[in-house]
Amino acid sequence: MPDLTPLAYAALGLLNEGPAHPYEMFQTMVHRRDARNVKVRPGTLYHQVGRLVDLGLAEAVGTDRGGNRPERTTYAITDQGRTVLHDGLLHLLAEPADEYPVFHLAVAEIENISLAEAVAALTARAAALEGRRADTDEILGVVTAKDLPERYWLDVSYVRAMLTAQIEWLHTTVERIQRGDVPWGGPDAGADAPADTTMNSNSKDTTR
């Protein structure tokens, strides 16, 4: 099975709904706010559709010209494309992938900033995520008002659940740090909390 990007899967999903030209696909993705899942840019989408054609997963089925606009090619998914979309989605849904989010790295290295800076940064992140959750609630309001079957917007409810979990963890962690439940070392630790005597502040615990 070819190694496809998230945008390629999104493009295959759109073509599985019916033939379309890349600009029409881009407009649909913008309308559906698919940028919450993948980076959506016209040039990148055109490139992905071209790669799908090269792989035999999509094919050109016609061209049209409207007024003075450039000629546009319409593409359709192939039988092989449907198989790859089906099998790829099953794999992505069932098997956790090795991912390396930058926030996880930042949390792993948080001891390298002061307690006050950590509290401020985590609090700011929580506020930003609360804004994203509000946007997600707006999207949920739109899709539920349209009486769309839930299977079409399960991703939105998933995103909201993940945002809520992150926000709760951030608030809880900030409270624990401020109470002193999380021993703090690192730069300027003496200015805002006792240093953690269980580990030298200049070294990492290699057991974690």
pLDDT of residue 47: 93
What CA–CA distance (Å, rounded) separates 71 from 7?
A: 24
Report which listed range, 25-34, 61-70, 161-170, is most confident: 161-170
Per-residue pLDDT tens digits for 111-144:
999 999 999 999 999 999 999 999 999 989 988 8
Q: Would you report the helix, strand and coil content of the chain in percent, each value rounded to 5?
A: 60, 5, 30
Q: Give SS3 for 63.
A: strand
- pTM of the predicted model as reported, rounded to 2 decimal places: 0.74
Name the band, by pLDDT with cuts 50, 70 and 90, for residue 162.
very high
pLDDT of residue 200: 43
Least confidently predicted of 158-162, 179-183, 204-208? 204-208
Residue 41, pLDDT above cutoff 60: yes
Q: Is residue 76 a contact partner of residue 93, using CB atoms and an 8 Å limit?
A: no
Name the band, by pLDDT with cuts 50, 70 and 90, for residue 65.
low
Residue 120 tokens, joined: 């401020």
Could you give the percent of the chain with pLDDT greater than 90?
A: 62
Residue 85, pLDDT above cutoff 90: yes
Per-residue pLDDT tens digits for 89-111:
999 999 988 888 899 999 999 99
